[in-house]
Amino acid sequence: MLSPQPDPPETQRLLTEIARSMPPQKKVQLVCQMWEFLQNLALAGLRRQYPKASEGELRRRLPARFLPPELVLEAYGWDPRVEGY
């Protein structure tokens, strides 16, 4: 697997300039779209890992991909260290 290469300084400068010129609501919209993409990516991984799981089970397992096990246990009442991620 190839490791990602750092962005050249000019690319970084351009991305920073674009982000600074963006209105706040557009930045929020982009963050929401990225979060949705990450959730879908995590769900795809869960479907591969648990092919027989129902959608409900997959949705219960999803927070364990993003939150510490202690918080999942406190918030959702199940321990991903026991149930599996």
The single-letter code of the amino acid at 47 is R
* Domain extent listing, the chain: 24-83
Q: Tell me the per-residue pLDDT of 25-73, one tens digit each, with 9 for 90 and over.
A: 999 999 999 999 999 999 999 999 999 999 988 988 899 999 999 998 9
For the chain, the first-to-last Cα distance in angstroms comes to 23
Question: How far apart (Å, rounded) are the C-alpha atoms in residues 57 and 33?
Answer: 24
The single-letter code of the amino acid at 6 is P
Q: List, as own/partner pairs, every contact residues 9-12 make where C-beta atoms lie below 8 angstroms and the sequence separation is at least 24, other chains included.
A: none
Q: Is the pTM of this model over 0.85?
A: no
